[in-house]
Amino acid sequence: DRLRPSDLVDTAAGRIDRRIFVSPELYQLELERIFARCWMFVGHESQVPEPGDFVQAWMGQDQVIVVRQRDGSINAFLNSCPHRGNRVCHAEAGRTRSFQCNYHGWAFGLDGRLRGIHETSAYDREPGWDASGIGLPPVAQIDTYKGLVFATFDEQAPSLGDYLGDFRWYLDVVLDNDPGGTEFVGGSIRSVMRCNWKLAAENFAGDALHAGWTHDSGANAMLGQSVPELAEEESYQVNVNGHGWEFNLDTVGNAATFGDRRVLDYLREQDAHVRERLGDLRARMVGSISSVNVFPNLSFLPGQNTWRTWVPKGPGLTELHTWVLVNRNAPEEVKEAYRRGAMMTFSPSGVFEMDDGENWEYSTRTNEGVVTRRQPLHYALGLDSRIDHPELPGNVFRSQINDANQRAFYARWAELLEDER
Ligand code: FES
Ligand code: FE
């Protein structure tokens, strides 16, 4: 029987069908209707400052090369040769004048167009040969939001502004708390998890619940103290279009520091002008204990500034790409403190990453059992917790200990999978 996505997600009762984590058929539908249609994060502008700079990115299982053009714009092209399909670019990032395929030597310009061919004369003898129509296919749309580059394969996709909607108000907490904007510190980390990508994404969208339990031993080992108990007061989950942000306004500046005085001092120095820029409420979100997922698979922790995508490689396999975001104008030692902090917490060698990875792997693997996967999962925390808030836009829920954002994530997931156009 065909699995109907909307039958598998019951947000009113707070129940999710486990087959969404293991079904190969649903996974293919996700690639078609989510990853090939949504706006996907493909990089930060700071990664490609000059014409010819490029960085690789994944939009689902489609790999693209994100390239700064000669006119200063950014474009992205499939990294696959139109001749026999080989990759045309093997470097993860760099600067180039062209991309030349290893197999038969076809070469493509920064604009993706075919520029040269080894053995051109053989082709020139072909009647009807026309090189002008051949090239690396570009994405359908590409746009930026305050330094973040997003692309979509869907010509009919709404604008990036509409896709992010009111979530931009929250994104500005990390992207626009300083007039210099942000950048990625150099390099990125990759690791592989034997889990379904959604378990990681939903965790960042709204799972504050696990922090005090899963990460308690890590926090003790690293900081010599437990994860602070999260207050109910001034603690929220918000979601917009399936994007989720959980946060509190109690611990500003603490999460970001890893006990590092340089980061804490920096946040305190910044505080007055952040208040002026973003207002008192959002100033209290900078560095608070919080986590975020931009639908479908871009996640970050505003406090720790770890920035990541959960790249799907199959229903039970996810490649994690991690970067560190910093304010461009922050002092070098503060950037370095953030980088080290991220390495020590959320990297393959970090104390917190392993805790999460193991949980997600078993949460995926157990569902391979045919009897196990008939048992529904419980997502019913905070069913009646929706509130109106005078300042916070989007769908707002009381308490960051809540399943509200996870329910919104899966509601969006089902809605997109049902869209048959
Ligand atoms: Fe690229 Fe033949 S596959 S030139
Ligand atoms: Fe975690």
Q: What is the pLDDT of residues 81-113, one digit of tens each?
A: 999 999 999 999 999 999 999 999 999 999 999
Helix (H) or strand (E) holding 279: helix 261-283
Per DSSP, the three-state class of 319 is: strand
- What spacing in Å lies between the alpha carbon of 34 and ligand 1's midpoint? 30
Q: Is the CB of 283 under 6 A from ligand 1?
A: no
Q: What is the pLDDT of residues 60-82, one digit of tens each?
A: 999 999 999 999 999 999 999 99
Helix (H) or strand (E) holding 114: strand 114-116
What does the radius of gyration of the chain's CA atoms come to, in whole angstroms? 22
Range with the poorest average pLDDT among 256-260, 343-347, 372-376: 256-260
Among residues 17, 176, 207, 250, the one annotated as catalytic is 207
| Residue of 376, 385, 416 whose CA lies nearest to 403 | 385
Q: Is the CB of 254 under 6 A from ligand 1?
A: no
Active site residue 356: yes
Res 252 pLDDT > 60: no
What is the C-alpha separation between 26 and 20, in angstroms, rounded?
Answer: 7
Model confidence at 254, in pLDDT bands (50, 70, 90)?
low
Model confidence at 201, in pLDDT bands (50, 70, 90)?
very high
Give the model's pLDDT for residue 261: 84
Q: What is the pLDDT of residues 156-169, one digit of tens each?
A: 999 999 999 999 99
**Residue length, the chain?**
421
SS (H, E, C) 109-154: ECCCEEEECCCHHHHHCCCCCCHHHCECCECCEEEEECCEEEEECC
Give the model's pLDDT for residue 316: 98
Give the model's pLDDT for residue 120: 83
The residue among 36 and 260 whose pLDDT is bigger is 36
Active site residue 280: no
What is the C-alpha separation between 115 and 131, in angstroms, rounded?
Answer: 8
- What spacing in Å lies between the alpha carbon of 212 and ligand 2's midpoint? 9
Max mean pLDDT range (180-189, 224-233, 310-319): 310-319
Cβ within 8 Å of residue 374, ≥6 positions away: 18
Range with the poorest average pLDDT among 160-164, 174-178, 337-341: 337-341
Per DSSP, the three-state class of 136 is: coil
Residue 141, sorted as left (phi over 0), alpha (psi -120 to 50) or beta, turns out to be: beta
Helix (H) or strand (E) holding 184: strand 182-184
Q: Is the CB of 101 under 6 A from ligand 1?
A: yes
Average pLDDT over residues 270-278: 95
Structure tokens at 176: 């626009």
Res 405 pLDDT > 70: yes
| Residue of 289, 258, 253 whose CA lies nearest to 271 | 253
What is the C-alpha separation between 32 and 417, in angstroms, rounded?
Answer: 9
For all residues of the chain together, what is the average pLDDT?
93
| CA dist list (Å): 9 to 31, 107, 372 | 18, 47, 17
What is the C-alpha separation between 90 and 97, in angstroms, rounded?
Answer: 15
What is the C-alpha separation between 212 and 325, in angstroms, rounded?
Answer: 25
> With contact defined as beta carbons under 8 Å apart, do 163 and 171 qualify?
no
Average pLDDT over residues 388-402: 96
Active site residue 207: yes
Give the model's pLDDT for residue 216: 86
pTM of the model: 0.96
What is the C-alpha separation between 411 and 406, in angstroms, rounded?
Answer: 9
| CA dist list (Å): 387 to 69, 232, 382 | 46, 14, 11
- What spacing in Å lies between the alpha carbon of 360 and ligand 2's midpoint? 10
**ipTM of this model?**
0.97
Axis crossing angle, helix 404-418 with helix 197-206, rounded to the nearest 10: 140
What is the C-alpha separation between 129 and 5, in angstroms, rounded?
Answer: 46
Give the closest ligand to the alpha carbon of residue 353.
Answer: 2
Q: What is the pLDDT of residues 111-147, one digit of tens each?
A: 999 998 888 888 889 998 888 899 999 999 999 999 9
- Go through the domains of the chain in sequence order and give each one's CATH number: 5-36+165-418 (3.90.380.10), 40-143 (2.102.10.10)
Structure tokens at 150: 């997003």
Cβ within 8 Å of residue 349, ≥6 positions away: 343
Give the closest ligand to the alpha carbon of residue 83.
Answer: 1
